[in-house]
Structure 1
Amino acid sequence: MAKLYQKFIAVTWRTLLTLLTVSRSPGLGRVDSSKSASCIYTGYASIMEGFGKESRGGGRTGNDRPDVLAGVIGELLMAVQQLSDRVGALEARDSDIAGLGNQIDGIERAIKAILLGITADMETRMEAVEQVVWGAFDEVERLNYEVEQLQVAEETEGKARISRLQSRVKALETRSAEQDAQLAQRAVRLKTLKETSYDGEFVWKISGMAQKRRDATVGKTTVIDSVCFFTSRAGYKMRAQVYLNGYGRGEGTHVSVFFVMMKGEYDAILSWPFRQKVTFTLLDQDHQADVTDWFHAGAYPTSPSFARPTGDSNLPCGTPDFVPLERLYNSGHAYVRDDTMFLKITVDTVGLV
């Protein structure tokens, strides 16, 4: 743009000089209009054309030609100035554009630098984040492993504790069972001491007859055992049994009573087989009509019921049809009163030590 402007200025000055030279020559009035078209720029052809018309028209004299030429030159100079201003504006614009381009280049470089910096920073941050993440994964794996180990340890310890607790519970159950057995034995002994006798005569009080009779009828509890009693402190040990709904040939029709020899602490110094007379008596609580039956053990010397006991007890021996049920409840006698019945067992102690 600067070179073009310099070329334009040079051409313009050459044109002005030519015009000045022509203005001094005598043939100025015959300037051909066709030569006006050969001016440097068609934008100023109208000015030159006007000047030629005035020359041909003869509107002005020769003395007026310098003024006209001066006017034309002035207008041309103004046009040149305007063009110069435009060229200057264009140069300024080009300069601004070049500066803007430089600014854009700088901005691009800055953006690239920023992007490169951001990329590098992001890479650094990503590496740090990856390290943190992988560290977190490692920590999670370690914690999972520790948890698994704790679970295994807890399961093992739990199983061991459960086993120990089960052993303790079993031991406690065994001990409790033993204590229960001991308590039961003590309860039986206490009851025996309270209710038993040591003279061969035992009165058995049977309470709750209605319920016990129902239990016997439905087969829930068919037999009831008495506490043990003795012929003396160091004598034979015995007990009685009663079937409230009968046994054997008396089942369903009679009350059956039996005598049972028990294994005792002094059996070694006693005479065997047992040979004593045994008597059963159902007591009338009005003392009017007791029911009695008996047997003599000596009449059965070979019976296992009277041999020395090898187990806890021998086979029972007694009377299956001791008293009819009809008589027990409907005879008008007080064999059962206040839901209670009394049965006395008497062992003859004559001849015993």
Structure 2
Amino acid sequence: MERFGRERAGRRAEGNGADLLGDWIGELLLAVQQLSDRVGALEARESGIAGLRPQIDGIERIIKEILMGGTADMETRMDLAEQAVWSAFDEVERLNHEVEWMEEEINNKARIAGLQSLIQALEMKIAEQDARLAQQAIRLKILEDTSYNGELLWKISGMAQKRHDAIIGKITAIDSVYFFTSRTGYKMRAQVYLNGYGRGEDTHISVFFVMMKGEYDAILPWPFRQKVTFALLDQERQEDVTDSFHAGAYPTSPSFARPGGEENLPCGTPDFVPLEQVYNSGRAYVRDDTMFLKITVGTAGLI
């Protein structure tokens, strides 16, 4: 605008005022069109950029008033027109600065949105990685706890909460990890009902044995015929509670046939040990909110 002011002073002294005013108006119209194009581009990117359009319309009205002016005094008209054009140029410059600021704001928003999308993508990847690590940790824990000698020593922690869940029916049965009679032997697990099952419900702890589908079932003898023993351990090693059965005594039971699905029907003892004995006998069957069950499967004669 300083350049325009210097040219205005020199050209006004040199030549025809009307021609000079026409040049200025032409230059102003071009500046207004360029500003309008920039605002249009902003409006396409950001719907909230609507406040600049009325201001541009106001400048265009000023130009029309200059072109349509009807004063008889040409000198006066030239002075008024020059002042109006000069004011319009100032307004165009101010609006250009405002548009530049808005463009920068919109670009910043776009960059922030891009960064937020990147962060969300990274958070999803981290969550997926955490899930995979958690699964690996579970698998490693299972491998660490897996027995291949027919014995499972099952530590059940959080007994108070687990028993409460069983009483209210939230989680009535708890499953152990898998265990095996050998590396190529039967696959099995145990199951316990801390508030009892069937005839033992509300009065006993019930324990069950479950045959699982294994990798080596094709070379194992069926039906399963081994002896299974349950033991609730007294943590002072004074008086364990034990019970056992021989699977061979039930040759037609579906619990001991070769599994057709993932597992067979459980078989065990619904009235394994009275709840009164577990909690009120003075024995340390539950200590530090923890109970230990031992399941032993005979391996004599097995591969």
Give the corresponding residue for 2:134.
180
Which residues of 2 match residues 321-336 of structure 1 at below 5 A? 321-336=271-286
Q: 152, 163, 184: which one pairs with 1:213?
A: 163
Aligned partner of 2:227: which letter?
K
Give the stretch that moved more between structures: 155-164 or 119-128.
119-128
For 2:197 and 2:178, the matched residues in 1 are separated by: 21
Instruction: Establish whether residue 224 from structure 1 lines up as the match of residue 174 from structure 2.
Output: yes
Q: Cα offset for 1:276? A: 2.0
Classify the secondary structure of the residue corresponding to 2:163: helix
Q: 248, 258, 261: which one pairs with 1:307?
A: 258
Aligned partner of 2:139: which letter?
Q
Q: Is the 8 A contact 2:232 2:242 kept in 1?
A: yes
Q: Which blocks of at least 5 consecutive residues in structure 1 are unaligned? A: 1-118
Q: Are the structure 2 counterparts of residues 278 and 153 from structure 1 closer, same or farther at C-alpha, using a change threshold of 3 Å? A: same
Aligned partner of 1:352: which letter?
L
Q: Which blocks of at least 5 consecutive residues in structure 2 are unaligned? A: 1-72
Q: Cα offset for 1:253? A: 0.9
Aligned partner of 1:322: which letter?
F
Q: 186, 192, 198: which one pairs with 2:148?
A: 198
Classify the secondary structure of the residue corresponding to 2:141: helix
Q: Are the structure 2 counterparts of residues 169 and 206 from structure 1 closer, same or farther at C-alpha, using a change threshold of 3 Å? A: closer
- Cα deviations by residue, 1:176-227 (Å, 9 ceiling, x for unpaired): 212221222223323x1xxx43221223233443443334323444333333
Give the corresponding residue for 1:247.
197
Aligned partner of 1:177: which letter?
A
Classify the secondary structure of the residue corresponding to 1:255: strand
Aligned partner of 1:251: which letter?
E
Q: Cα offset for 1:137? A: 2.5
Instruction: Establish whether residue 275 from structure 1 lines up as the match of residue 225 from structure 2.
Output: yes
Instruction: Establish whether residue 139 from structure 1 lines up as the match of residue 93 from structure 2.
Output: yes
Which residues of 2 match residues 1-353 of structure 1 at below 5 A? 126-146=80-100, 153=107, 158-190=112-144, 192=145, 196-285=146-235, 289-298=239-248, 299-301=250-252, 303=254, 306-308=257-259, 310-311=261-262, 313-353=263-303
For 1:162 and 1:305, the matched residues in 2 are separated by: 57
Aligned partner of 1:290: which letter?
D
Aligned partner of 1:291: which letter?
V
RMSD: 3.4
Q: Is the 8 A contact 1:277 1:297 kept in 2?
A: yes
Q: Are the structure 2 counterparts of residues 237 and 159 from structure 1 closer, same or farther at C-alpha, using a change threshold of 3 Å? A: same
- Cα deviations by residue, 1:128-184 (Å, 9 ceiling, x for unpaired): 542332113323444455555555555555545444443333233222212221222
Q: Is the 8 A contact 2:225 2:256 kept in 1?
A: no
Classify the secondary structure of the residue corresponding to 1:178: helix
TM-score with structure 1 length normalisation? 0.54
Give aligned-pair identity as a percent: 54
Q: Cα offset for 1:281? A: 2.0
For 2:237 and 2:112, the matched residues in 1 are separated by: 71
- Greater fraction of residues in helix: 1
